[in-house]
Amino acid sequence: MIYTAKVHDVIRGDEKARGVAVLVDKLWPRGVAKERLPYEHWFKDVAPSPELRKWWGHDADTFEEFARRYRAELDANDGEELEQLRHLAELGDVTLLFAAKDREVNHATVLKAWLEER
């Protein structure tokens, strides 16, 4: 099963990462010491491109278009990190860690749905 969890919720103990914990942000979360975050992988290359992230700006009104564009990036991504993530998801539980403020409107939820469809 694939789960998503906000980095700050995991650090505070409000939420637990189930299975393999994978950070899926391009940038390290602000204000988080690496030794405080329990993660096993950091797959930067599965995050949206900087251009797409800047275009979107986490605007909930454009989330559907962002999701469409991000899915297109994922479809075109033949990188090793995405392949590893797909393999981990086939083997068992994976938690996608993200640092966005909104728990529902973020790239990790799009990535989760994309992975589940495959």
Whether the Cβ atoms of residue 115 and residue 85 lie closer than 8 Å to each other:
yes
Q: Are strands 2-6 and 20-23 parallel, antiparallel or unpaired?
A: unpaired
Position 28 scores a pLDDT of 96
Q: How far apart are CA 84 and CA 92, in angstroms?
A: 13
Position 83 scores a pLDDT of 97
Position 118 scores a pLDDT of 84
Q: How far apart are CA 110 and CA 104, in angstroms?
A: 9
Whether the Cβ atoms of residue 99 and residue 9 lie closer than 8 Å to each other:
no
CA 118 distance to own-chain centroid: 16
Position 54 scores a pLDDT of 96
Position 44 scores a pLDDT of 97
Position 96 scores a pLDDT of 98
Position 48 scores a pLDDT of 98
Q: What is the 3-state secondary structure (H, E, C) of the chain?
A: CEEEEEHHHHHHCCCCCCCEEEECCCCCCCCCCHHHCCCCEECHHHCCCHHHHHHHCCCHHHHHHHHHHHHHHHHHCCCHHHHHHHHHHHHCCEEEEECCCCCCCCHHHHHHHHHHHC
Q: How far apart are CA 93 and CA 4, in angstroms?
A: 11
User: What does each of the 118 residues of the chain score in pLDDT, given as a tens digit?
Assistant: 999 999 999 999 999 999 999 999 999 999 999 999 999 999 999 999 999 999 999 999 999 999 999 999 999 999 999 999 999 999 999 999 999 999 999 999 999 999 999 8
